[in-house]
Amino acid sequence: MKRSTTGTTHPALLPAPVHMDAAPGAGCTLDAGTALAAGPGTATTERWLRTTLGGALDLPLPPGRAGAPGTITLTVNPELPAEHYRLDTVDGSVRITGGDPAGVFWGAQTLRQLLGPDAFRRAPIAPEGGRSLPAVRIEDGPRFGWRGLMLDVARHFLPKDDVLRCLDLLAAHKLNVFHFHLTDDQGWRIEIERYPRLTEIGSWRPRTKWGHRASELWDETPHGGYYTQDDIREIVAYAAARHIRVVPEIDIPGHSQAAIAAYPELGNTDAVDTSALEVWDSWGVSPHLLAPTDATLRFYEGVLEEVLDLFPVEVSPFVHLGGDECPKDEWRRSPTAQARIADLGLADEDALQSWFLRHFDDWLTARGRRLIGWDEILEGGLPGSAAVSSWRGYAGGVAAAEAGHDVVMCPEQQVYLDHRQHGGPDEPMPIGYVRTLEDVYRFEPLPPGLSPEAARHVLGTQANVWTEVMQNRARVDYQVFPRLAAFAEVAWSRLPAPAERDYAAFETRMTAHYARLDALGVDYRPPGGPLPRQRRPGVLGRPIDGVPPQR
């Protein structure tokens, strides 16, 4: 009889698999004699098992014969759905069968969890000896095809090694989309060879607001950095080897002050002195946006030509162009913008933004890519093939899905991980609503009342990490974990309705998962509250009281 791991068949697996059975026969032991047989299409998992799992447990994993005792056998069986897998640990051997190469890889992630927290280290610490596994059969596959994390590296730059580590953490939680927020008012983080001032000027700001934008505190240390094109290629290749898609974000037409600081002609020069602009040193919504001129269109076509070269379509079918938080006062004051509205016969400035984005929707479509943007791109008319990241609650995503557009659900009030995790006074730089581990576990990506046809347009869900008050990797760790583990289960597992979810059982499994996070060196928020070094006393935040709206 099949039993769900949301019960007690195995206390450690996370996200919970669809089914886990105790299998007849003996289990198996992995030791120095264990071999690895990798069938066609499983090379990425073969390499990962030898380098990561083998390195942690001192297992050389020499080549072996498929199905033989003492062997880990990797196989692709296209009769299984994409990303699904079966994992058997019976009679002295391990067999992982996936519906595609990604499915095999997710099966290997489950095997790692079965082997205990030491399997998450970089080098062996235990005495020599085997690792015993019970005889089990696991059958598993994801609920959603888009299971993502957005990381903002524009507000605070994270070095390349921190990004690679983030990809490893996504893979460990069976998340498969990395939304890479590369440009904003506070910094431009990607090298564009034909426009060198984007990084020479646009990647550095002289100082940084310390805390919320209303804070009187400043960090006077210049802040910046960027990824070279080779860095980007390495990040993309690293993600691809872990079956993670990368969605690069280049913000237009708002959130562009860093680009305008580097190239003032990109801004509305007839409405403001753009030559006086610098990379922004504070937070919020900048009033400065791109000019709707042919020269600006050509400039960003040049940017995107290099972006598409760095993010090949196999890894990055979507390109995110922002489109959010775009105040249009400059366009209202700009004779050039007003003339463009009149020449195109547009109704207003919202329609001008839609025209701007439609241009790049057509441009990307002609090159085999798809535009995705924040839900403000619905204003003035949604470009034909564009997808929507629904962040201002569910409403934008519902409207887009009901109109036949694909949607990623990432409502701020539910899965913005910069929001505080507790209402206590020790939370560092508290932002937004309280969103506890349990709150995230009870998040439901599909809102009630969505029609079945519209529900098919919900590609999946994504947690977002905005780094205004996350100055380094440790602060990112604190805000993201352990809540990302709950989010991963919501995105992967077929859970009951939110009120019916067994949070107590999830907490039990989290006890084992904290040991994995410890082994990985993740500086998560402890269940009992922040450690003294994790607090930021006296730094102003923006806490919001009450229950967040569910709309």
Residues labelled catalytic? 184, 255, 325
- Structure tokens that stand for 536 in this block: 């930021």
Give the separation between CA 513 and CA 507, rounded to whole angstroms. Answer: 9
Write the burial class of residue 454 (CB in 10 Å: 0-12 exposed, 13-18 middle, 19+ buried): buried
First to last CA, the chain: 40
E strand segments, 23-161: 28-30, 35-38, 71-76, 85-90, 93-98, 131-133, 136-140, 146-152
Report CA 20 to chain centroid distance, whole Å.
28
- Structure tokens that stand for 369 in this block: 């890519």
Write the burial class of residue 128 (CB in 10 Å: 0-12 exposed, 13-18 middle, 19+ buried): exposed
The angle formed by the CA atoms of residues 477, 479 and 485, to the nearest 5 degrees, is: 75
- Structure tokens that stand for 424 in this block: 């206590």
Give the separation between CA 441 and CA 489, rounded to whole angstroms. Answer: 8
Give the separation between CA 276 and CA 289, rounded to whole angstroms. Answer: 14
- Structure tokens that stand for 498 in this block: 């939110």
E strand or H helix at 387, and its extent? strand 387-390
Side-chain half-sphere CA neighbours of 383 within 13 A: 28
Strands 183-184 and 187-188: antiparallel
Report CA 330 to chain centroid distance, whole Å.
33
Look at the alpha carbons of 262, 268, 269, 273 in this order and tell me if their dihedral is positive or negative: negative
Burial call 82-121: b when 16+ CB within 10 Å, e when fewer: ebbbbbbbbebbbbbbbbbbbbbbbbbbbbbbbbbbbbbb
**Phi, psi of 190, rounded to the nearest 5 degrees:** -130, 130
Give the separation between CA 326 and CA 242, rounded to whole angstroms. Answer: 35
Look at the alpha carbons of 218, 434, 177, 110 in this order and tell me if their dihedral is positive or negative: positive
Write the burial class of residue 508 (CB in 10 Å: 0-12 exposed, 13-18 middle, 19+ buried): middle
Question: 228: which DSSP letter?
Answer: -
Are 176 and 245 in contact, with CB atoms under 8 Å apart? yes
> Taking the C-alpha atoms of 106, 111, 113 and 116 in order, what is their torsion angle to the nearest 10 degrees?
-160
Which residue stretches of 93-159 are H helix? 101-114
Helix count (H) and strand count (E) of the chain? 18, 24
